[in-house]
Amino acid sequence: MQAYEHQKKATKEAVLDLKNQGFHALFMEVGTGKSKVIIDTAKEVKPDKMIISAPKSLTGTWKEQLSIHADFPYSFLVYDSVRSKTRKWYEEFCFFQGSPFPILFVNTEAFQSMNSTLLYILDKFKSGSSVMLVIDESSDIKNPKAKRTINLSRLGHSVDYRMIATGTEIANSVLDLYSQFEFLSPGFWGFKSFFFFKNYFAILQERYLSGGRTFKEIVGFRKLDEIQSKIAPYTSRALKKDCLDLPEKIYANLPVEMTGESKKIYDDMKKDLMHIFENGDIVTVANKISLFTKFRQITGGTLAGRGIIDDKNAKLQALMGELSDSSEQAIIWSCFTEEISLLCKKIREICTISRFDGMVSDESRQEAIRLFTAGEARVFIANPAAASQGLNLQNCSLEYWYSLPTSAKVYEQAEGRIHRSGQKNVCVYKKITATGTVDERVSTLLDEKKDVMLSFREGNVKDILELIY
């Protein structure tokens, strides 16, 4: 496929940087075609081999993108933590090493543990070769203390060429940039550690917690122009509004009033939570997240540990009504396994579906994509944690949010599955929200591009109460 002008520009910049200093950052918004830029850059730089690290959910996407955009001989092998321990896979790996331009795909999650088998395979793959390492969705290494960040940085510093690519380089704050650029070039920022980087750019304020504890809360940032001037020479950027002629987006809210068993359980849990608050009980962050998750589930008719609690809940009825009134293809986002099972069971009664979440195998996920993009499945029911990155679903122009994520990054990326190059129709996004519940509060925070979980700091449940009422 021919490159757009913004892709040609980014490729030229990336090639120049990789040849001169060995690293480059590709910050291209979802849907602007960063995969093609990476592939075209590799063609021009000509390393002996390439390693692609990306979320596991993008395995099939990278296979597809290479088949479309790579106009040169290459071989593609996926690291599998289970199969890699077998003799058959190792023999396949040895043969692959000697094939034309070997591209090894290692999912980012594998670097969280970095077992001895993966270490051995990477050492063998790198030995005596010039290697280009690409981290797709590099905001996944934004936490400098995370094992995956440490392990990927260590690997990156042992190869010749390094690239990061993402459309959401700043998921929470500008501090997310620290470890991404330290991966590209050790000591890039000129600070001894992340601690000094944060204290230089963040405005910190002492905050008191229950029990007399304190912590320094980030209340703002300063000297942002220094950050921009520092990364600009090594960064290519692309925004859809500047480089693609895409149709507009339309947002709609479908409010419903919670009734029946869902409302009863929700109200009872609110009373229990208020009792905890009034007693001044200390609650761990983990327990607060668990409580908060239950409130989010109840509005959709399920509850962890109890399964389906209300298969006639108002949100489900509203969604079924929408689908019954049209024959248009649609994506339905749901954040919970039991909720997805409920949706699949009900929607299958009126039309064909594809399911894409952690409960289906990699092979079944690829078949789900094929059925939906081919028009053989009318509805694509997916967990945004599994499907918000990398998928090209522009055969559809309608998305429903049955339950909302807590991450602004995930929310934004899920929107990009249909609003991307090749889309010809106006894209419509509909949120089904139970009025007077957590649905409304989470919706507002996501529209403000705020991550909901960042508010959970103190030892009481006041922050949850502010979200569920």
* 334 and 360 Cβ atoms separated by less than 8 Å: no
| Shared domain check, 269 and 236 | no
Tell which of 218, 241, 264 closes a domain.
241
| Per-residue pLDDT reduced to its tens digit, 352-374 | 999 999 999 988 999 999 999 99
pLDDT of residue 219: 85
| Shared domain check, 67 and 146 | yes
Q: What range does the domain containing 143 cover?
A: 5-241
Burial class (CB in 10 A: 0-12, 13-18, 19+), 372: buried
pLDDT of residue 209: 65
Query: Which tokens go with 184?
Result: 């590209």
Tell which of 241, 266, 290 closes a domain.
241
Q: Give the burial string for 7-43 (b: 16+ CB within 10 Å, else e).
A: bebbbebbbebbeeebbbbbbbbbbbbbbbbbbbbbb
CB 438: neighbour CB atoms within 10 A?
Answer: 25
Question: Which residue(s) pair with 330 in the sheet?
Answer: 379
Tell which of 215, 241, 267 closes a domain.
241
| Shared domain check, 452 and 360 | yes
Q: Total structural domains in the chain?
A: 2
pLDDT of residue 207: 78
CATH number, domain of 376, equals 3.40.50.300
Which residues of the chain carry a pLDDT beneath 70? 209-212, 457-459
pLDDT of residue 433: 95
Can you tell me whether residue 369 is helix, strand or coil? helix
| Per-residue pLDDT reduced to its tens digit, 375-393 | 999 999 999 999 998 899 9
CA angle 292, 297, 300 (to 5 degrees): 145
| Shared domain check, 17 and 139 | yes
| Shared domain check, 228 and 306 | no
pLDDT of residue 455: 73
| Shared domain check, 134 and 9 | yes
- Which pTM value belongs to this model? 0.79
| Shared domain check, 258 and 234 | no
| Shared domain check, 259 and 236 | no
pLDDT of residue 276: 87
CATH number, domain of 11, equals 3.40.50.10810
HSE at residue 101, side-chain half, CA atoms within 13 A, is: 16
pLDDT of residue 211: 62
Query: Which tokens go with 300?
Result: 């959709």
| Shared domain check, 328 and 228 | no
pLDDT of residue 143: 95
pLDDT of residue 350: 95
| Shared domain check, 197 and 56 | yes
| Shared domain check, 263 and 165 | no
